[in-house]
Amino acid sequence: MRSDQKILEFIIALNPFSAQARAAIKRGAALAAALLLVSCASEPPKSLVTPFPPVTKQPLPVPGKPAQPQANQPMRGVWLATVSRLDWPPVASVNGTSPALRIRMQQQSLTDKLDKLKSLGINTVFFQVKPDATALWPSKILPWSDMLTGKIGEDPGYDPLQFMLDEAHKRGIKVHAWFNPYRVSVNTKPSTVSELNRTLSLHPASVFVLHRDWIRTAGDRYVLDPGIPEARDWITSIVAEVVAHYPIDGVQFDDYFYAESAGSLLNDNQTFSRYGQGFAGKADWRRHNTQQLIEQVSRTIKQLKPEVEFGVSPAGVWRNLSHDPAGSDTRGAAAYDEAFADTRRWVQQGLLDYIAPQLYWPFSRQAARYDVLANWWAEVVKPTKTRLYIGLALYKVGEPSNIEPDWTLQGGVPELKKQLDLNDSNPNIDGTILFRENYLNQPQTQQAVSYLKSRWGG
């Protein structure tokens, strides 16, 4: 029996199907629909990272397959962003080139980057495979990303995720598939609306046209409303599709849960009226919605492939001490209160294999000192099995700043060294992730990059 069929039957046995999911199966989307339903109807076990009975036996090692980094090696990671082509693919590859040339440019760019990462001692890439409501793999749920060709839904002629996995694993580098869960677009321009509407004839079409009732605006973007259970199920099915079909090493969500801005709040009043009964207020309900997503994604991954790691990279401050006696001695925007994400709770409940808080400040930034936050997070993970990786602000290195001048002193090397020294000296910190890849190639970071190579590159 094919493994896909085993997965399907396993999840059918565990989970009751909604009418919508049954209809989807009848339309032939059996795997996607089945995976929709790893839902939160029942109470989760205390630790959701404890593997469920495996769906299939773990594959035997393949003779001659390149060795992967040892599990106990410290994380030396980097985020590689594809949204707005920030790190990849090259903008020039999309502009006026033939398909064959575009493919060559994109693949060459990726292998060049991986060669450089290997030389620097980087052992893990967090590859953004879902920058918005599009995909960098041949999905049955999402249309192809316009980041690849300039047009949503256009087949790029190869599978970027598989290419990344093949090339990274050849070099002994792990790959975590990085998903932005709720973002549909990066703006709300009429041209963007037109492009999304044009996908109606595609298979699959954009969620923007298939489920217009799920779409809201927030932070001047189109986003999914996190309060809609079917939208959370849909996100879970996307993660499941990748986990089921690709040999990824991990899954990561970034910090975009409720991603509002002061001038562009998410209007979820109607959703709250429908689903918010029993909650003291909208804030508690929103946190519950985010919790539900994390629980069901965690359970889904562990049911499909227990060895695939699940992590989140939240804003660096959980809560400030002034608001909560358990919070950190900081004065920053807090994930709990701003993004409605109780990230500390996820660690305590065992929902995550790792957490990677974004600590993008220097030691001298009194409102959010690097050492205060790194040590606070180390205490949070200490009694748990959740690993702690610290996200560092490579993008600030070498950039002049009146409030954070340390990033330019001696090319930012002393600040970087202090942060890495702290990470290495605290037994509850398991490594570092740099934000983000393209800053390794910028003139202002070259002293720091040389330092990284001498420290990590061996």
- Per-residue H/E/C for 107-118: HHHHHHHHHHHH
Residue 255 token pair: 């910090």
Compute the distance between CA of residue 356 and CA of residue 155 in angstroms, rounded to an integer. 33
Burial class of residue 44 in the structure, from the number of CB atoms within 10 Å of its CB (0-12 exposed, 13-18 middle, 19+ buried): middle
**Do 339 and 283 contact (CB within 8 A), yes or no?**
no
DSSP track, 271-326: HHHHH-TT-SSHHHHHHHHHHHHHHHHHHHHHHH-TTSEEEE--BSBS-BTTT-TT
- Phi/psi at 205 (nearest 5 deg)? -85, 170
Token couple for 377: 């997070």
Report pLDDT digits (tens) over 227-250.
999 999 999 999 999 999 999 999
Rounded to an integer, what distance in angstroms lies between the CA atom of residue 190 and that of residue 193? 5
pLDDT-based confidence at 47, cuts 50/70/90? very low
- Please, which pLDDT band fits residue 97 given cuts at 50, 70 and 90? confident
312, β-bridge pairs: 253, 355
Handedness of CA 304, 124, 131, 345 (dihedral sign): positive
pLDDT category at 113 given cuts 50, 70, 90 is very high
Give the whole-angstrom CA distance, residue 315 versus residue 336: 9
Q: Residue 213's closest CA among 174, 271, 160?
A: 271
CA atoms within 13 A on the CB side of 421: 8
C-alpha to C-alpha distance for 310 and 206, rounded to whole angstroms: 26
Which pLDDT tens digit goes with each residue over 298-353?
Answer: 999 999 999 999 999 999 999 999 999 999 999 999 999 999 999 999 999 999 99
pLDDT of residue 157: 97
pLDDT at 27 over 80: no
Q: Is the pLDDT of residue 156 over 60?
A: yes
Cβ atoms 253, 314 nearer than 8 A: no
Q: Where is 194: in which H helix or E strand?
A: helix 190-197
SS in 3 state form for 256-278? CCCCCECCECCCCHHHHHHHCCC
What does the alpha-carbon distance between residue 23 and residue 46 come to, in Å, rounded to a whole number? 33
**pLDDT of the residue at 35:** 43
Residue 71: CB atoms within 10 Å: 5
Helix (H) or strand (E) holding 433: strand 431-434
Q: What is the pLDDT of residue 43?
A: 39
pLDDT of residue 200: 97
Count Cβ atoms within 10 A of the Cβ of residue 162 and give its class: 0-12 exposed, 13-18 middle, 19 or more buried.
Answer: middle
